[in-house]
C-alpha cells in the first residue's frame, strides 16, 4: 500500500483509503469520485513532479502532489 | 413570474444555456469557474414569463471556494425549480450533484448537454428519468437543440424521490442529536458539513458529529457513486474514451516542450495583435477615420469658420478620440485571441504547467486564468479571483491583476513607443508585457512572506477537452468588444477630452489660451511635475495626461495627442513626427520614454478597476493596492530610467558588463544565504526538509 503521490506513471491502482481527517480537500476528492475501490491512474506529471494529471472515472484532473498524498492506493 | 435556477458542475454549459434561453451574450469559456456570480434575466416558456438565474459551477452542496458559496447560498435561499445541467461526456460525475439536489428535496429538471457529436455516454433519457424520478431531457445548449423539450419539462409537476441508498443510512444518528428529524439533517450529519449547521443558526456545531462515524462522508459519497454507476449501467452505453484526453497533450504537456510552446503561443498572439494583422487592420481604420473626419471638419469649417468651437471638435473630439479609435482592431483582436485561448481548453494545461511556479509564491495554477484575463481587462479579471479557495490568495490575485498590461494600454505603447523606437517597438512592447508579469510575481512573493501568507491552495483542476471556437461565438466576441470599446470611447473619453481641452485652453480668468501656456491645467500640472523629474519626464503635459489616465488608460494617449495639436486628419506617421519634435511631450531621451511607458504599465488602474477592487477585496486592501502600485511604478520606472540612461551614456558593452557583475553578485549572495540557512536547519533536523541533508 502506498499513497497516490508516490505512484508510477501509466499504471493502474485501486483506492483503498484516505490518510487524513475530513477537510475541504478530502470532501472535494470524494465529490470528484475518489472513493474506496475506485481505479485510478497517473497520466502525466509536471517537470518537478509536484503536480500530477490523474485519470479517474473516465475523466482527467490535475492535482497537486501534496494533496494526492492523502489518497492511499494499492497496486492492481 | 416564476424564478428558475440554473445549476450544474463547472464547465457543463450553464451560461451557454442561459444565453440561449434569454438571448444574452454573457461570458462563457472552456474553463472551470468562468461564472463567479449569479446573473438573472427573463425568458418566456409555456406562455409564462420566467426569471432564469445563472449560478457559478459547483460539485456538491458543500462549497469550497467563494464562488461556490454564492451558488450554494442561492440554492438554499428559497425553493425554486432547478434546471440541473449535466455534461453528457462526464455524466457520472455530473449526476453526483443531481443526487445532492434530490436529497435536498429540490424540484429538479435534468438537462443533459450533448456538446459533442460522438459523446462518451449515449443516454436513454426515458430510462434515466424513471431511475432518477425527475424529468430528464437531452439538449445542445449552444446550438439551441432540445430547448422546447426542456421548456415542456419545466411544466411537469414536482415529484419527491426517495433514493434507494437512503435505506443504508443510519437514521438513529439523528436521534443522538437535538436536531429536528428532517431527513436532510441526516444527510448533512453524514457529510459532517459544519458550515451548513452554522449557517442554519446553530452556534455550537462540534459536538454534533461526536456520534457520527469518522468516515461517514466518504461512505455517503460511495453510496451516491454506486447508485450512479448502477443507473448508468442501466440507461447508457459508454465508450472507452477518457473525457479531456487528447493526443495533442503528448506534445503540449511534454516536460521539455511545454514552456517553449507556451511562450510561442503568447508571442504569436502579441505579434498578430500588435503588428502584422493588428497593424494592417488599424491602418485601414485610420484611413477611413481620416476620410470621415476631414469631410465632417471641412463642412464644419465652411459653416462656422475656425473658431474655438472648431478647435474643440478638431482636437478634443476627432483628434484625441480618433487617435485611440484607430486601435479598435488591436484591442478587439487581443480579446478575440484571449477568448480562443479560453475556449480551446489550453488554459487548464497552462494552469497545470504553472502550478509549480505559482505555488512557490503563494498563488495557485488557478490564478493563471485571472492573470491572463488581466491582459484583456483588469476590471473583469479582478472578479474572477473569486475562484480561489483561500481569502488571502483571493486578495493577492485581485491585487496582482492591474500589473498585467490591460488592452487599454495598447494605444500608449503603440503611439508613444512607435514614435520613439520605430521598428524596435515590438521588443519594447513584449518587454513591457513581460515586466508586468515579473513585477506581479515579485509582488505576490512579497505579500506572501509579509502580510498575506496564504495556506496551500487546494489545486484540483479538471482537464476539459480541446475545443474550437465556433464562428457564431467569434461573431459574438467581436461584436461585444467592439460595442464596449465604442461605448467607452464615445462616452468617458469624449467627456474627459472635453474637460481636459477646457482646462488646457482657458486660464483661471477664463480667457482662451491657444498654446496651453498659462492654462489652468499647466498651472495645476506644474505643482506635481517636480515629483517626476527623477524619472526623466518632468513635463506638466505628461503629468496631466497621467492624471487623466486614472479615468481610463486610453485617455493618456488622447490627451497627449490633444496637447500636441495632433488633429483628426493625422495618421500614425504624422503623429510620430509631431511627437518627436514636440515641446509639450518632451522626453529628454529614449530612457525617459521607457520610464514613462513602465510607469504607465504599473501605476494605479482605471476608476472601473478600482471600484471592482473595492467590491471584491474591501476598502483597506484597495487603498493598499493603489499605494503599492504607485510606489512600484515609481521605483521600477526610476530603475529603468537610470539603467537605460547609463546604457545611453556609457555604451552597451560597459553597462552590460556592470549589470552582469551586479547580477552575479546578487545570485552569489542568495546562494550563500541559502547555504547558511540550510546549515542552521541541519543543526535541528526536525525542521529540515532537505532530502540531501547529511543526517538523512
Task: Give the Cα separation of B387 and B364 in Å (integer).
Answer: 11
> How close, in Å, is residue A7 to chain B by CA atoms?
18
| Predicted local confidence at residue B625, as pLDDT | 95
> Which of B603, B561, B558, B551 has the alpha carbon at shortest distance from B584?
B561
Across B245-259, B501-515, B665-679, which has the greatest mean pLDDT? B245-259
Say if residue B478 is exposed, middle or buried (CB neighbours under 10 Å; 0-12, 13-18, 19+): middle
Mutate to test the interface with A, among B100, B122, B242 (most CBs of A within 10 A): B242
- Is the pLDDT reported for residue B686 higher than 80? no
Q: Mean of the pLDDT values across residues B640-661?
A: 86
Chain A residues in contact with B461 by the CB 8 A cut-off are: 61-63
Cα–Cα distances (Å) from B453 to B113, B351, B353, B391, B448, in that order, read: 40, 21, 23, 10, 4
- Is the pLDDT reported for residue B177 higher than 90? no
- Is the pLDDT reported for residue B447 higher than 50? yes
Q: For A16, which residue in chain B has the nearest alpha carbon? A: B218
Half-sphere exposure of B80 (CA within 13 A, CB side): 21
Half-sphere exposure of B414 (CA within 13 A, CB side): 28
> How close, in Å, is residue A25 to chain B by CA atoms?
6
- The cell for A68 is 494526492
Q: For B352, which residue in chain A has the nearest alpha carbon? A: A62
Sign for the CA dihedral angle at B165, B171, B172, B173 comes to positive
Sign for the CA dihedral angle at B574, B577, B578, B579 comes to positive
Task: Give B376-398 pLDDT, tens digit per residue.
Answer: 888 888 988 887 777 888 899 99
Q: Mean of the pLDDT values across residues B39-67?
A: 92
* A24 CB within 8 Å of a chain B CB: yes
Q: For A59, which residue in chain B has the nearest alpha carbon? A: B243
Task: Give B246-297 pLDDT, tens digit per residue.
Answer: 999 989 988 889 889 999 998 899 889 888 898 899 889 888 888 888 898 8
Question: Mean pLDDT across chain B, nearest whole number?
Answer: 86
- Is the pLDDT reported for residue B319 higher than 80? no
Chain B residues in contact with A44 by the CB 8 A cut-off are: 249, 253
* DSSP sequence for B387-443: G-SSHHHHHHHHHHGGGS--GGGHHHIIIIIHHHHGGGHHHHHHHHHHHHHHHHHHH
* A19 CB within 8 Å of a chain B CB: no
Chain-chain contact of B218 with A67 (C-beta, under 8 angstroms): no
* A9 CB within 8 Å of a chain B CB: no
Cα–Cα distances (Å) from B108 to B83, B221, B569, in that order, read: 6, 20, 61
- Is the pLDDT reported for residue B72 higher than 90? yes
The three-state secondary structure class of B36 is coil
Structural domain boundaries enclosing A62: 2-75
* DSSP sequence for B430-498: HHHHHHHHHHHHHHHHHHHHTT---PPP--EEE-PPP-PPPHHHHHHHHHHHHHHHHHHIIIIIHHHHH
Q: Mean of the pLDDT values across residues B581-608?
A: 83
* B205 CB within 8 Å of a chain A CB: no
Whole-structure pTM value: 0.82
| Exposure b/e, B453-475, CB count within 10 A at least 16 = b | ebeebbbbbbbbbbeebeeebee
| Predicted local confidence at residue B403, as pLDDT | 94
* A1 CB within 8 Å of a chain B CB: no
| Spatial strand order in the sheet of B81-87 | B39-45, B48-54, B2-8, B81-87, B107-113, B136-139
| Predicted local confidence at residue B519, as pLDDT | 85
Secondary structure element (H or E) that encloses residue B286, with its range:
helix B276-304
| Predicted local confidence at residue B696, as pLDDT | 44
Q: Radius of gyration over alpha carbons of chain A, in Å?
A: 11
Region of B481 (left: φ > 0; alpha: ψ -120 to 50; beta: rest) is alpha
* B242 CB within 8 Å of a chain A CB: yes
Chain-chain contact of A60 with B253 (C-beta, under 8 angstroms): no
| Predicted local confidence at residue B649, as pLDDT | 84
* CA B307 centroid distance within chain: 46
Chain B residues in contact with A24 by the CB 8 A cut-off are: 64, 389, 458
Mutate to test the interface with A, among B187, B206, B225, B351 (most CBs of A within 10 A): B225
The three-state secondary structure class of B100 is helix
Chain B residues in contact with A26 by the CB 8 A cut-off are: 217-218
**Which of B120, B218, B355 lies nearest to residue A46, judging by beta carbons?**
B355
Q: For B349, which residue in chain A has the nearest alpha carbon? A: A62
Q: How much of chain B, in percent, has pLDDT values that exceed 90?
A: 36
- The cell for B617 is 477585496
> pLDDT confidence of B555, banded at 50, 70, 90?
confident
Task: Give B92-110 pLDDT, tens digit per residue.
Answer: 999 999 999 999 999 999 9
Half-sphere exposure of B496 (CA within 13 A, CB side): 28
- Is the pLDDT reported for residue B682 higher than 80? no
* A26 CB within 8 Å of a chain B CB: yes
Task: Give the Cα separation of B429 and B425 in Å (integer).
Answer: 6
> How close, in Å, is residue A16 to chain B by CA atoms?
12
Cα–Cα distances (Å) from B628 to B400, B604, B632, B635, in that order, read: 10, 9, 6, 10
Q: For A25, which residue in chain B has the nearest alpha carbon? A: B458
Chain-chain contact of A62 with B244 (C-beta, under 8 angstroms): no
| Predicted local confidence at residue B679, as pLDDT | 66
> How close, in Å, is residue A9 to chain B by CA atoms?
14
Chain-chain contact of A35 with B92 (C-beta, under 8 angstroms): no
**More confident call, B117 vs B3:** B3
Q: Is the ipTM of this complex over 0.85?
A: yes
Task: Give the Cα separation of B406 and B334 in Å (integer).
Answer: 10
Pairing of strands A71-75, A12-18: antiparallel
**More confident call, B691 vs B165:** B165
* Angle ∠(B18,B19,B25) on CA atoms, nearest 5: 140
Strand-pairing partners, residue B4, are B52, B81
| Predicted local confidence at residue B605, as pLDDT | 87
Of the candidate ranges B79-88, B146-155, B285-294, B577-586, the one whose mean pLDDT is the lowest: B577-586
Task: Give the Cα separation of B320 and B514 in Å (integer).
Answer: 17
Q: Mean of the pLDDT values across residues B536-564?
A: 83
Other C-beta atoms within 10 Å of A3: how many?
Answer: 17
Task: Give the Cα separation of B177 and B169 in Å (integer).
Answer: 15
Q: How much of chain B, in percent, has pLDDT values that exceed 70?
A: 93
Chain-chain contact of B389 with A24 (C-beta, under 8 angstroms): yes
Domain count, chain A: 1
In CATH, what number is assigned to the domain containing residue A21?
2.30.30.90
> pLDDT confidence of B452, banded at 50, 70, 90?
confident
- Is the pLDDT reported for residue B187 higher than 90? yes
Interface of B with A in 80-109 (CB under 8 A): 90, 92-93, 96
| Predicted local confidence at residue B399, as pLDDT | 94
Chain A residues in contact with B215 by the CB 8 A cut-off are: 18
Amino acid at each position: 500500500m502506498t499513497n497516490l503521490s508516490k505512484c508510477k506513471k501509466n499504471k493502474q491502482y485501486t483506492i483503498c483509503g484516505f490518510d487524513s481527517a475530513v477537510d475541504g480537500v478530502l470532501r472535494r476528492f470524494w465529490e470528484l469520485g475518489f472513493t474506496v475501490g475506485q481505479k485510478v491512474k497517473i497520466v502525466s506529471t509536471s517537470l518537478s513532479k509536484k503536480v500530477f494529471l490523474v485519470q479517474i472515472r473516465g475523466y482527467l484532473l490535475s492535482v497537486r502532489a501534496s494533496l494526492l498524498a492523502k489518497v492511499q492506493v494499492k497496486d492492481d | 413570474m416564476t424564478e428558475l435556477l440554473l445549476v450544474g458542475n463547472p464547465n457543463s454549459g450553464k451560461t451557454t444555456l442561459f444565453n440561449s434561453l434569454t438571448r444574452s451574450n454573457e461570458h462563457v469559456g472552456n474553463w472551470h469557474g468562468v461564472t463567479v456570480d449569479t446573473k438573472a434575466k427573463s425568458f418566456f416558456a409555456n406562455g409564462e414569463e420566467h426569471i432564469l438565474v445563472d449560478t457559478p459551477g459547483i460539485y456538491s452542496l458543500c462549497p469550497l471556494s467563494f464562488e461556490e458559496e454564492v451558488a450554494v447560498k442561492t440554492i438554499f435561499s428559497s425553493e425554486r425549480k432547478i434546471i440541473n445541467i449535466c455534461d453528457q461526456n462526464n455524466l457520472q460525475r455530473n449526476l453526483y450533484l443531481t443526487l445532492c439536489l434530490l436529497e435536498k428535496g429540490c424540484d429538479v429538471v435534468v438537462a443533459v448537454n450533448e456538446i459533442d457529436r460522438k459523446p462518451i455516454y449515449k443516454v436513454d433519457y426515458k430510462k434515466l428519468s424513471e431511475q432518477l424520478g425527475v424529468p430528464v431531457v437531452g439538449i445542445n445548449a449552444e446550438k439551441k437543440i432540445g430547448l422546447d423539450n426542456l421548456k415542456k419539462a419545466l411544466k411537469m409537476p414536482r415529484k419527491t424521490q426517495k433514493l434507494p441508498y437512503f435505506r443504508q443510512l443510519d437514521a438513529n444518528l439523528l436521534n443522538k442529536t437535538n436536531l429536528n428529524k428532517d431527513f436532510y439533517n441526516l444527510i448533512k450529519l453524514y457529510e459532517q458539513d459544519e458550515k451548513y449547521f452554522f449557517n442554519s443558526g446553530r452556534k455550537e456545531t462540534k459536538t454534533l458529529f461526536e456520534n457520527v462515524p469518522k468516515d461517514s462522508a466518504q461512505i455517503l459519497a460511495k453510496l451516491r457513486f454506486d447508485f450512479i454507476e448502477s443507473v448508468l449501467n442501466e440507461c447508457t452505453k459508454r465508450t472507452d474514451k477518457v473525457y479531456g484526453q487528447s493526443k495533442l497533450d503528448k506534445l503540449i504537456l511534454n516536460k521539455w516542450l511545454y514552456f517553449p510552446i507556451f511562450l510561442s503561443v503568447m508571442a504569436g498572439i502579441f505579434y498578430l495583435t500588435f503588428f502584422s494583422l493588428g497593424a494592417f487592420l488599424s491602418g485601414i481604420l485610420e484611413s477611413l477615420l481620416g476620410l470621415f473626419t476631414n469631410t465632417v471638419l471641412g463642412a464644419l469649417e465652411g459653416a462656422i469658420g475656425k473658431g474655438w468651437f472648431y478647435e474643440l471638435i478638431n482636437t478634443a473630439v476627432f483628434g484625441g478620440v480618433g487617435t485611440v479609435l484607430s486601435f479598435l482592431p488591436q484591442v478587439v483582436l487581443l480579446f478575440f485571441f484571449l477568448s480562443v485561448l479560453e475556449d480551446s481548453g489550453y488554459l487548464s494545461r497552462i494552469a497545470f504547467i504553472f502550478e509549480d511556479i505559482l505555488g512557490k509564491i503563494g498563488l495557485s495554477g488557478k490564478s493563471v486564468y485571472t492573470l491572463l484575463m488581466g491582459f484583456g481587462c483588469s476590471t473583469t479579471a479582478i472578479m474572477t479571483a473569486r475562484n480561489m479557495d483561500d481569502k488571502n490568495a483571493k486578495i493577492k490575485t485581485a491585487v496582482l491583476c492591474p500589473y498585467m498590461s490591460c488592452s487599454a494600454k495598447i494605444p500608449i505603447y503603440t503611439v508613444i513607443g512607435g514614435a520613439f523606437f520605430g521598428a524596435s517597438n515590438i521588443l519594447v512592447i513584449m518587454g513591457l508585457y513581460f515586466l508586468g508579469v515579473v513585477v506581479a510575481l515579485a509582488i505576490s512573493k512579497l505579500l506572501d512572506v509579509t502580510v498575506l501568507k496564504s495556506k496551500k491552495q487546494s489545486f484540483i483542476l479538471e482537464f476539459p477537452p480541446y475545443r474550437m471556437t465556433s464562428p457564431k461565438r467569434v461573431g459574438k466576441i467581436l461584436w461585444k468588444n467592439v460595442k464596449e470599446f465604442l461605448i467607452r470611447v464615445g462616452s468617458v473619453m469624449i467627456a474627459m477630452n472635453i474637460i481636459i481641452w477646457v482646462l488646457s485652453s482657458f486660464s483661471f480668468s477664463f480667457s482662451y489660451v491657444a498654446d496651453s501656456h498659462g492654462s489652468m491645467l499647466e498651472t495645476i500640472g506644474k505643482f506635481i511635475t517636480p515629483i517626476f523629474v527623477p524619472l526623466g519626464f518632468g513635463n506638466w503635459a505628461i503629468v496631466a495626461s497621467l492624471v487623466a489616465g486614472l479615468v481610463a488608460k486610453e485617455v493618456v494617449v488622447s490627451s497627449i495627442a490633444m496637447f500636441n495639436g495632433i488633429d483628426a486628419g493625422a495618421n500614425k506617421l504624422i503623429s510620430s513626427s509631431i511627437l518627436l519634435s514636440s515641446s509639450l511631450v518632451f522626453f529628454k531621451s529614449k530612457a525617459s520614454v521607457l520610464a514613462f511607458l513602465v510607469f504607465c504599465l504599473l501605476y494605479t488602474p482605471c476608476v472601473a478597476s478600482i471600484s471592482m477592487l473595492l467590491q471584491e477585496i474591501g476598502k483597506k486592501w484597495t487603498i493598499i493596492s493603489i499605494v503599492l502600485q504607485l510606489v512600484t511604478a515609481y521605483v521600477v520606472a526610476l530603475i529603468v530610467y537610470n539603467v537605460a540612461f547609463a546604457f545611453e551614456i556609457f555604451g552597451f558593452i560597459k553597462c552590460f558588463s556592470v549589470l552582469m557583475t551586479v547580477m552575479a553578485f546578487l545570485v552569489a549572495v542568495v546562494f550563500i544565504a541559502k547555504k547558511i540557512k540550510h546549515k542552521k536547519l541541519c543543526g535541528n533536523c526536525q525542521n529540515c526538509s532537505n532530502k540531501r541533508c547529511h543526517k538523512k
